[in-house]
Amino acid sequence: MQCTKQPSRTRSEELLYIAQRKKVTSLNAKFLGLEGDGDLQFLLAGGDLLKVRSTSWKKTRFFKLQDDCKTLWYESQRTLKSNPAFSIDDISAVRQGRQSEGLQKYTEEQVAPRCFSIIFKGRRKNLDLIASSEEEARRWVTGLEKVITSTKDLDRQQKAEHWIFNCMRKADRNVDDKLSQNELKDLLHFINIGVEDDYAEVLFKKCDTSKSGYLSGEEIERFYDLLTQRPEINVIYSEYARTAGFMSAENLQEFLVQEQREEATLAHAHALIDKYEPDDKVKEKKLLSKDGFLMYLQHPESFMLSPRHASVYQDMSQPLSHYFISSSHNTYLLEDQLKGPSSTEAYIKALLLGCRCLELDCWDGSDGEPVIYHGYTLTSKILFKDAIKAIHEYAFKTSEYPVMLSLENHCNVEQQQVMAQHMRSILGPALLTQPLGDTMPTCFPSPEDLKRRFIIKGKRLNKLEAAFAPEASPVGGDDDVTEDDEAEAEEEEERRKKKKKLKLAKELSDMVVYCKSVPFHGFADARDNLSFYEMSSFKERNALQLAKESASSYIHHNMEKLSRVYPSGSRTDSSNYNPVPFWNAGCQIVALNFQTPCANMSLNQGRFLVNGRNGYVLKPSYLRDAASEFDPVTLTRGPWLKHKTLHVMVISGQQLPKVNTRKTSIVDPVVRVEVYGVPADVAVKQTAYIDNNGFNPAWNQSFTFDVYVPELALVRFVVEDYDSVTDNDFVGQYTLPFSSLQMGYRHVPLLDQTGEPLPSAGLFVHIIVVDA
């Protein structure tokens, strides 16, 4: 919503307009639970802030929170410039002080108390700002954080009501608390429903009981009820509401057992009534109304993802090699790998998404300070020490489990020594520089053993055993090129001919403990000659060939040793490969470009959605057991073969966002259900498209899938805007492990391409899993 110049009004009209705006603001503040809050009032009043883009570009802008308490608007002093705005939902974080790269680079230390940054989701650049005083900066930060937190804390029903209410206010162009027939048509467009004029007229007349030619008061409430009714929920509720038109605890228990396939007790049903029934009189009678039933269905614990799997539920005491590990490639990049910007912000975003293995491409910098960038390209550079500082600050905010720093080392010995000094001084005792325990280890420690520790992955001059025999002299023996160069030798032969032999600083070498990088010369050589801590990296093409042709050998290799898979150098746009075949082969570190939103990145998010999103997921037993004969390609009989039949009914959708922001553009939604896993399980089914309705489309279509290896399978729901001429446009998606599905009637919360929730948007489905 933008502030636009209002037409001239009479004095009385202006007073009425101001009173109505205050009423709207008050209602929105009440929605957020911030009615009368001083910090919210500060944001609503607005004020001047200095916007910083460079050393020379610092300009004053007036910022103000709109009456919807959701949109932050700012104006330029240039009268011809359009006035931009952004939603609170677009903000990832607000950071006080000179914490962003821009503020550190373009401002002086003395202004730090007056600085703050708005960090956006996705690829949008930070908004760096300077207030006129330290107190003003504090109030902006505190106020924005309150609004962001309050918005997040709204349940789906509250978010829906808040959104529809503000769409109504937006449609009410003259702010008279009434809706004309034309304004009602605007409202329908705002909420993503396209209807014929005749139907809009019928709907209007149905609500206009006063025959006044506009809707007001109870008539608007009547229209809202028509708009938000969920006939599919009504049918389910009426089937089990057998106690004077309500659900008793016994009725609810029956629903939970029969439909939701839960082992629910009567006490649990009573607890749900106490938690979700909004009407105190109904609650006193220990009954559940239709509104309470809907609130239960729209709470995250009732969503498709099992709440038991949402927190840490797996054994975290097994060796590192027994886990899939969320891993990033070219972590420093915000965009493509040819000319895109490098940024410490990219490391922060990856860590906050639960990534546990970060890549640092290190090169000689000026003034003796090593830098990070994509070598031989036009990508920008960041200081190595700045990256380490950012990693240190954000490493364990999402997960307490260990972070691996994968060093691609192109620096001379002197700058390698500087790298070692920076890591030792910044990371401190959290940096692992020697094996745990007093004796030479024979296998990896566990994630639990390594909580809040940093592990360095890179080249080492000698064997780890030398740490327990100090008198032993350093032994070389590795190719002295970085592993990615070694793997892509055929593509970079000329470059390597010109490249001088790389020497390794002992200070950096000694920091490599459990992840020593070595070339791969076949599974037999690795079995006979490599220690458990010596690991290889595989370019996607080579890894895919091994996963197809030597899957069993690859799986057994990955039981004891770590494997890292990374994208081909030909992916100059930083696109991603499908990670599933590599997980099927037991590869732990399947590195993706976190900066590139795509279907393959959503599979990665789905894999690590569970277990507290801590970045570590325990591999199935047959990928850890040395006696296992599992092969994902041939799929012989064994304990992994647990043939299931998955029944999915796509019932309806709720408040799907527009793809095109034009008012008249309406989504024609189509839903695709996809299963990923071993080759035998891969399947896709699709609904018909619904014409001109992104608000409450109904499909009621059923699909059946055969899933043979459920522990490796992922289920993905994709919503697109159907187009008969061009490719469909992405609307939203949600991916989760097959084994984490909850059965019964479930809502599916939709995410955008970056993995962020789409407020209020979702699907309503019915899920049944049975033994085939």
CA distance 483 to 519: 7
60: three-class secondary structure by DSSP: strand
Q: Whose CA is closest to 147, among 300, 50, 74, 42?
A: 42
**What residues contact residue 38 under an 8 Å CB cut-off, 6+ apart?**
none
The packing angle between helices 540-549 and 551-560, to 10°, is: 110
Residues 147, 88 contacting (CB under 8 angstroms): yes
Neighbouring C-alpha atoms within 13 Å toward the C-beta of 624: 13
CA distance 610 to 559: 22
CA-CA-CA-CA dihedral for 678, 680, 681, 685, to nearest 10: 140
Q: Whose CA is closest to 699, among 723, 724, 734, 673?
A: 673
Which is the catalytic residue, given 329, 410, 557, 766?
329
Q: What is the gyration radius of the CA atoms in the chain, in angstroms? A: 29
Q: Whose CA is closest to 701, among 717, 685, 718, 687?
A: 687
Which is the catalytic residue, given 162, 309, 374, 422?
374
Tokens standing for residue 120: 């956006």
CA distance 566 to 537: 7
49: three-class secondary structure by DSSP: strand
Residue 530: φ, ψ to 5°: -105, 140
Active-site residue 329, yes or no? Answer: yes
57: three-class secondary structure by DSSP: coil
Alpha carbon 516 to its chain's center: 31
Question: Quick one: DSSP state of residue 189?
Answer: H
664: three-class secondary structure by DSSP: coil
Active-site residue 322, yes or no? Answer: no
The residue behind tokens 């729901």 is: 717
Residues designated as active site: 329, 374
